[in-house]
């Protein structure tokens, strides 16, 4: 190959290598600890950054519990898909990473009667 061909290829390879080296690493998910028990859901923080959130659901109660999350619109109506942390047995911890868009989110335990008994909370993502 002639230098007229090789030089642009070398320059391109250097540019690509610099781009790969300086690219920001993937942001780790924001942590959120949730204490679930009869009959409350307590969050470690009221606000999380929007994006990926690593939820640790600690069941500190005597019954099984889970967690559902759904965004609320400006009028407080649920919109969009429901996020879920699976069923967690007493004395155990379940971790799930969910994607939360900016806004207000309702959190609740989906087991029969648990939300009505007090297992619900709200969270802001921004």
* Cα–Cα distances in angstroms (integers) from residue 7 to residues 1, 2, 3, 117, in the given order: 10, 9, 6, 71
Pairing label, strands 51-59, 78-88: unpaired
96 binds Cu ion (CB under 5 A): no
41 binds Cu ion (CB under 5 A): no
Cβ nearer to Cu ion, comparing 60 with 111: 111
Q: Least distance to Cu ion from the beta carbon of 116, Å?
A: 11
Of 57, 100, 107, 109, the residue at the interface with Cu ion (CB under 5 A) is 109
CA 10 to chain centre: 42
107 binds Cu ion (CB under 5 A): no
Write the DSSP symbol of residue 113: T
Pairing label, strands 78-88, 47-48: unpaired
The stretch among 12-20, 60-68, 77-85, 94-102 that binds Cu ion (CB under 5 A) is 60-68
The two structure tokens encoding residue 27: 């942001």
55 binds Cu ion (CB under 5 A): no
Q: Which residues bind Cu ion (CB under 5 A)?
A: 65, 109, 111, 114, 119
């Amino acid at each position: 190959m002639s230098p007229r061909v090789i030089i642009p290829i070398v320059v391109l390879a250097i540019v690509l290598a610099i781009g790969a080296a300086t690219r920001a690493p993937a942001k780790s998910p924001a942590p959120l600890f949730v204490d679930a028990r009869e009959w409350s859901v307590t969050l470690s923080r009221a606000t999380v950054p929007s994006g990926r959130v690593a939820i640790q659901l600690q069941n500190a109660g005597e019954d099984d519990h889970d967690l559902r999350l759904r965004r609320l619109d400006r009028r407080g109506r649920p919109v969009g898909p429901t996020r879920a942390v699976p069923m967690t047995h007493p004395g155990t911890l379940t971790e799930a990473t969910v994607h939360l868009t900016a806004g207000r989110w309702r959190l609740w335990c989906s087991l029969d009667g648990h939300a009505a008994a007090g297992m619900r909370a709200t969270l802001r993502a921004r």
